[in-house]
Each structure stands twice: as structure tokens, then as C-alpha cells.
Amino acid sequence: MNRLIAIMCLALMALGLWLPAEAQARVYIDITKPSSRKLPLAMPEFKPMASSQSLGGEGNRILRGDLELTGLFDVLDPKTYLGSGAWAINPREWRRIGAELLVTAEYTQIGNTLGIECKLHDVTDGKLLVGRRYDGLKADLPAMMHRFADEIMEAITGQKSVFSTQIAFVRAEGGKKEVWLMDFDGSHARQLTSRGDLTLFPSWSPDGKLVAYTTYVNRRPTVALHALAGGSGQVILNKPGVNLTPAFRNDGRVAAALSFSGKTNIYLCDQAGNVGQNLTDGWGIDVNPTFSPDGRQMAFVSDRSGNPQIYVRDMASGQMRRITYGHKYCAAPDWSPKGDRIAFMVDIGGVFQVATIRPDGGDQQILTSGHGGGEDPSWSPDGRLIAYSSRSTGRYQIYVMTASGQPLKRLTELSGENSDPAWSPRGVIGTR
Amino acid sequence: MKKRMVWTLVLALILGLAVGASTGCSKKEVGAPGELSAEEQARLKAEEERRLREQRLREGQGAGSGLTGTEAQMREIFTNQDIHYDYDRYDLRSDAKQILNDKAGYMQSHPEVNVIVEGHCDERGSASYNMALGEKRAKAAAAYLQAMGISSARLETVTYGKEKPLVRGNTEEAFAANRRAHFVIK
């Protein structure tokens, strides 16, 4: 029963609801604290039905990777405790190895076809929390596992996670940069743009159908939109000067930093490239817009104080206020999908770190100082994870950590430099 | 008679060898210098002038003088000499202004020359902010040249942010060398 209460508390917290004091005392996992305890989850080897060929542990491997990426679970390998064939054991037995949750699956794979039945149990009272059956081709196994991982997260936290998302990033090779895509876990990396020059600063549309980026055309950085459905990307902003750092507002309009006036200010434009309202009034550099989820506020970088700092503009009143103080270089802001925090990069003693801060400038937290620095943060659509780039191994690669700074995984294992991740919304076409 | 013919032949051979040795053995040049055609004389003179000019060029290079060099040298200096900036700044330092004075002088004496001013940054910091910063650096250099009388039509500015470092490495020296405006003749 305590376990169930713990799960319910977790779900309530994920929904952002206020908890009464006595319930807070019983919380097993505080997902906002790096030291928090993880939920122990047992996952025995998936069981092949009679006449089925073997998946050879592939399903377990994918699902385990997904669950570990959330930073919420401690996935126990029952073989260690109970030997193989452990799926046959009575669920209550799992308490003996410390499990609170149990995932079981049975499958039938014949030739190219695959059917798989997955279940999530609460070990304490043997209750079935989630049961799903997936049928398809054997090649659909990753998609099936990602979907079930989302079901598990919905049952535990009240919302789906990132298992139908992609990450756009910039890959540098041979003096050129192109935008690439990969699945949320770093798998299935593939090239999106082939423009043959410098293409960078990717940003997703709210519906996940477009990626905007900056791309050089005849020595000038322009802004282009690229449909995931196909095509090679269409330049929409090519004004004299620079056309930098496009970012979508929730209404589908695009903000970008343009310098045609002589000052580098941020303008709100439509997707056809018609330049609308000037949103900033800096005398020098205003760049890198990012909107609150409701579109009512915009954070950006400005050097109006003499060095780059993060500012927030209220879209209705036009008022702007500085939110970062005490450091000489703050840049690359990304507004959390929950709306409650802004991630950015900050120079701490000569090393850039990823930090988060409330939009009112309170409660700044440095997240990466324990693990080699970080730059260019991007929130996952559930607001629980942050992807970022780091050169802690010498070359820039992309990593993911929890929103509280607990390191989880290195996502890119590619040659060249891989940086500037942009996490997609949920449900993007092409995620395996 | 036979003896005389032999002597004449020997004499002719000796003369021929001597003339050949002194004139480079060219068939046309056999004979006295006074017999050279006007065309040949002009060719020889041009060759001598070319040789002398090559000599002067080598002496000029040996002296290493920056401002009194030849056309090719001046052009080389114009395109090879970058101006440099302080970290996260785009205002022009006094050493940069001196170099820009020379560049303005070169552009004034070479009205046919149009220039791309490239702004670059060191590798630290945000790629997007650096791209904006690189443009400010290029624009500051171009504005100075305009103030020195160079038409804006002859100046194009480009930013490469921190995307095209000149020097690899994360030393202060590498950073300083990479924070630059570079001048390319179109």
C-alpha cells in the first residue's frame, strides 16, 4: 500500500499539484532532486511463446535503455538474483530482491512478424498497472518498446515521456556544418540538410513538422524552414546583414535576430518570411529568442549591459527585464516546456556550464559543474530532461541529464563535432 | 693551294668556336655584334631589363620593407594582415586602427579593389552570440574604412562567428589570433 501511495504521489508531483504536508513526508522519489531514490523495477527476460523464434534479449535491451534514460528507475536484472527463466515466478517473490515494479512480456516472432504482450505490475499487491499488446513487423520492435515505455511513464508520472521524440543537432565535418536528426536515445542518426556550407541553430515548430535553422547563402546567414516530410529546406529570411537563431512561438510564427537596421534585434515574422514587429530595442546584439509555452513571454540574449546576459520580454506590455546577474557571460536560453524554468549556458571561471533559472530571475542552479561543463541546453518536451553539448572528451558530443543535473547518457558516438541539440515535441514522424 | 684551304678552315673553326662561345652558340648570332638586327637588340634589352627587375625584387624582399614594396607585396600585406579584438568586444583597438589606416591607403591608391571584411571570434561561448559578434567586428572595421573615405559600395561584411578559427587550440594565444577581422580582395 505504501508503494501505491508513493506512485500516486509521484504522479501528482509530475502534474504539478500541491501535496499536503503528511503526504510529502511519504514521498519515495523527488524527481527534482539529484540525490533522490530511484524506483526499483525488475524486468526479467521476455518470454517467447511456443513456436516463436527468439528475440535474443533485444526487446529487454531497448525497454531497459528507455527506462534508464528517464533517470527515474533502477532497472534490476533478475538473472542476477533468480537465474534465467525468472518470468515463471510469482510476482510477490520480486519483493525479495527489492523490486517495487515488475515488467513482463510474452512474444511470438515468426519470420518477419512479431506480436508482443507487455505488462507493468505493482509488485506490492500484484496489481496490473498497464497491459498492452503490439502486433507488427519484427522491425517495429523499437517502436513497440518506445510506446510501452511511454505507457509506463504515463502510469507512474501521469504523462507520457520522450519516447516518440527526436533531437535535431549540428554535425561539423570537413569545415562544413549540417543539421542532423536522431531518436531521443541517440539511435538512428541521419542527416537532414545537405546545403554544403554552414547550417546551424536548429529549432522545431510546435507541431514537430518543421525544423527552422540558419544556413549560409552567398556568405550570408539566412533563415530557412525545412519540412520533415521532405524537400531541401526553403530560405524565408535573407535580409542584408545576418538572419540568425529562428525560434517558433506557440502560434507558429518565427522570431529571429536580424541586423538589416544596423542593430541586431529580434523580429517576429510569419512562415513566409514577412518581417513583422521588432521585439527588442538593444543598441548592439539581441539574439537567440525562446518563448514561454503560452507564448506570452520571450527570453533572449542581449549585450545591452556590456556583455551577454539573459533578458525576458513580456509580449503584451513590451517590458523587458534582465534575469541573470553575477556572471559575465550568459547565453543560449531555452524555455522549459513546463514554463517554470529557463535553461542557459554560463561562464563559470572560464568553463561554460548549463544552468537553469526561474523566469523571474530567482533560484539559479548550475547543473553540469560536476561533469565537465556543458553548453547549448535543450529541454525534453516533458520538461524532465535536458540535452546539451559538451567537449569533456575533447570533441563536442551530445549528452542528456535530468533537469536537476543528474547525468544520464552520452547520446552521440559520431565522428566530427556534434553540438547544439534541439529536442522535438512529442509524436514526430520518423521516430522508430 | 690545298695547304691554304686547310689553314682557312682551321682559322674559320677557331673563329667559329670563339664567336660561338661569346654569343651563346646561336646560329643567327654568329658574326659581329654590329650585325644584330634591331629586333634581336630589342629582345636582348628586354631580357636584360627583366633580369634587372628580378634582381630588384629579390633585393626588396631581402630588405623586408613593408610599405615600399611592390604591387604584389602590398596586395599580399593587405590580405594577410588581420586586425585583432579583445574578448567579447567589437570596438577597434589602436593597433587595429593603425593597420586599418594602411588598408584605407591601399584602397585609395587602388580604386579597382573591392573588399570582403570577415569578422571572426574565438571558440569560447555561444555559437549564435559569436555569429552576431563577428558581424559587429566586421562592421566596425568597415565603418572605420568608410570614415577614411572608402565608399561603402567597395566593402562587403561577412561574419563567420567562431566557425572558422585560424588557429586550433584553446590557449590564450590561439584565442587572440582567432578574434580577428580578415580582409579578402574580391
Query: Do both A343 and A219 map to the same domain?
Result: yes
Provide the domain count of chain A: 2
CB contact A214 to B (< 8 Å): yes
Q: What is the mean pLDDT of residues A302-314?
A: 97
Return the pLDDT at A88.
54
**What is the layout of strands, in order, in the sheet containing B155-161?**
B83-84, B180-185, B115-120, B155-161
Residue A141 vs residue B42, higher pLDDT: A141
Q: Mark yes or no for CB contact B132/A244 under 8 Å.
A: yes
Q: Which residues contact B180 (CB under 8 A, 6 or more apart)?
A: B82, B83, B84, B85, B120, B137, B166
Q: Does the pLDDT at position A324 exceed 50?
A: yes
DSSP conformation class of B140: H
Assigned domain for A432 exists = no
3-class secondary-structure state, position B166: coil
Q: How confident is the model at residue B47 (pLDDT cuts 50, 70, 90)?
A: low
Nearest to A341 by CA among A393, A283, A372, A297: A297
Contact residues on chain A for B156, CB-CB shorter than 8 A: 219
In angstroms, what separates the C-alpha of A219 from chain B's closest C-alpha? 6
Residue A195 neighbours by CB distance under 10 Å: 19
For chain B, report the end-to-end CA distance as a whole number of angstroms.
78
- Domain range holding A92? 2-157
3-class secondary-structure state, position B158: strand
Query: Do both A55 and A107 map to the same domain?
Result: yes
For the ranges A84-98, A134-148, B48-62, B134-148, the lowest mean pLDDT is seen at: B48-62
Return the pLDDT at A230.
87
Return the pLDDT at B32.
46
Assigned C-alpha cell, B41: 637588340
Q: How confident is the model at residue A56 (pLDDT cuts 50, 70, 90)?
A: confident
Instruction: Tell me the residues of chain A between 231 and 290 that have a Cβ less than 8 Å away from chain B.
Output: 241-242, 244-245, 257, 259, 262, 264, 284-285, 287-288
Q: Which residues contact A374 (CB under 8 A, 6 or more apart)?
A: A345, A352, A353, A354, A367, A368, A388, A389, A390, A399, A401
Instruction: Tell me the residues of chain A between 371 and 410 that have a Cβ less than 8 Å away from chain B.
Output: 375-376
Query: Do both A411 and A268 map to the same domain?
Result: yes
Assigned domain for A429 exists = no
Of A123, A157, A191, the residue that ends a domain is A157
Nearest to B161 by CA among A420, A278, A200: A200
Q: Mark yes or no for CB contact A420/B163 under 8 Å.
A: no
**Chain B nearest-CA residue for A214:** B128
Contact, A203 vs A189, CB < 8 A?
no
Q: Mark yes or no for CB contact A219/B127 under 8 Å.
A: no
The residue assigned the cell 507488427 is A136
pLDDT in tens, A261-306: 999 999 999 999 999 999 999 999 999 999 999 999 999 999 999 9
Contact residues on chain B for A214, CB-CB shorter than 8 A: 128, 131
Q: How confident is the model at residue B69 (pLDDT cuts 50, 70, 90)?
A: low
Q: What is the mean pLDDT of residues B92-106?
A: 97
Q: Does the pLDDT at position B48 exceed 90?
A: no
Return the pLDDT at B46.
57
Return the pLDDT at A76.
87
Query: Do both A131 and A214 map to the same domain?
Result: no
DSSP conformation class of B125: S
In angstroms, what separates the C-alpha of B153 from chain A's closest C-alpha? 14
Q: What is the mean pLDDT of residues A162-187?
A: 95
Residue B41 vs residue A398, higher pLDDT: A398
Return the pLDDT at B92.
97
Of A157, A192, A214, the residue that ends a domain is A157
CA–CA separation, A257 and A300 (whole Å): 10
Contact residues on chain B for A264, CB-CB shorter than 8 A: 132, 135-136
3-class secondary-structure state, position B32: coil
Assigned domain for A174 exists = yes
Give the CATH number for residue A253. 2.120.10.30
**Chain A nearest-CA residue for B132:** A285
Query: From the list A200, A285, A329, which residue is nearest B127 (CB)?
Result: A200
Q: Does the pLDDT at position A379 exceed 60?
A: yes
CA quadruple A316, A318, A322, A328: dihedral sign:
positive
Return contacts of B152-156, CB within 8 angstroms, 24+ apart.
Answer: B153/B114, B154/B107, B154/B113, B154/B114, B154/B115, B155/B114, B155/B115, B155/B117, B156/A219, B156/B114, B156/B115, B156/B116, B156/B117, B156/B186
Assigned C-alpha cell, B39: 629586333
Residue B80 vs residue B33, higher pLDDT: B80
pLDDT in tens, A14-41: 443 333 332 332 233 444 454 467 899 9
Q: Write out chain A in H/E/C secondary structure.
A: CHHHHHHHHHHHHHCCCCCCHHHHCCCCCCCCCCCCCCEEEECCCCEECCCCCCCCCHHHHHHHHHHHHCCCEEEECHHHHHCCCHHHCCHHHHHHHCCCEEEEEEEEEECCEEEEEEEEEECCCCEEEEEEEEEEEHHHHHHHHHHHHHHHHHHHHCCCCCCCCEEEEEEEECCEEEEEEEECCCCCCEECCCCCCEEEEEEECCCCCEEEEEEEECCEEEEEEEECCCCCCEEEECCCCCEEEEEECCCCCEEEEECCCCCEEEEEECCCCCEEEECCCCCCEEEEEEECCCCCEEEEEECCCCCCEEEEEECCCCCEEECCCCCCCEEEEEECCCCCCEEEEEEECCEEEEEEECCCCCCCEECCHHHCCCEEEEECCCCCEEEEEECCCCCCEEEEEECCCCEEEECCCCCCEEEEEEECCCCCCCCC
pLDDT in tens, A89-119: 566 677 878 889 999 999 999 999 999 999 9
Query: Do both A114 and A244 map to the same domain?
Result: no
Give the CATH number for residue A60. 3.40.50.10070
Assigned domain for A230 exists = yes
Query: Do both A129 and A179 map to the same domain?
Result: no
- Which of A264, A290, A334 would you mutate first to test chain B, the one with the most B CBs within 10 A? A264
Of A157, A181, A216, the residue that ends a domain is A157
Query: Do both A148 and A185 map to the same domain?
Result: no
CA–CA separation, A45 and A43 (whole Å): 7
Return the pLDDT at A370.
82
Return the pLDDT at A93.
74
- Which of B118, B129, B158 would you mutate first to test chain A, the one with the most A CBs within 10 A? B129
Q: Mark yes or no for CB contact B163/A177 under 8 Å.
A: yes
Phi, then psi, of B95 in degrees rounded to 5? -65, -35
Most confident among A14-18, A34-38, A190-194, B43-47 (mean pLDDT): A190-194
DSSP-assigned states of every residue in B39-93: HHHHHHHHHHHHHHHHHHHHHHHHHT-STT--HHHHHHHHHH--EE--TT--SPP
- The alpha carbon of A255 is separated from its chain's Cα centroid by a whole number of angstroms, namely 21
Query: From the list A198, A329, A345, which residue is nearest B88 (CB)?
Result: A329
Residues A106-143, buried b or exposed e (16+ Cβ, 10 A)?
A: bbbbeeeebbbbbbbbbbbeeeebbeeebeeeeebbbb
Assigned domain for A117 exists = yes
Query: Do both A146 and A187 map to the same domain?
Result: no
Q: Mark yes or no for CB contact B125/A352 under 8 Å.
A: yes
Query: Do both A214 and A300 map to the same domain?
Result: yes
Q: What is the mean pLDDT of residues A117-122?
A: 93
Query: Do both A136 and A230 map to the same domain?
Result: no
Contact residues on chain A for B126, CB-CB shorter than 8 A: 288, 301, 308, 331-332, 345, 375-376
Q: How confident is the model at residue A123 (pLDDT cuts 50, 70, 90)?
A: confident
Return the pLDDT at B130.
98
Query: Do both A375 and A226 map to the same domain?
Result: yes
Q: Does the pLDDT at position A411 exceed 50?
A: yes
Return the pLDDT at B173.
95
Contact, B119 vs B138, CB < 8 A?
yes
**Chain B nearest-CA residue for A257:** B132
Residue A7 vs residue A415, higher pLDDT: A415
Mean residue pLDDT across chain B: 79
Query: Do both A195 and A251 map to the same domain?
Result: yes
Return the pLDDT at A427.
80
Query: From the list A177, A285, A376, which residue is nearest B133 (CB)?
Result: A285
Q: Mark yes or no for CB contact B131/A242 under 8 Å.
A: yes
Residue A39 neighbours by CB distance under 10 Å: 21
Q: What is the mean pLDDT of residues A392-416?
A: 94
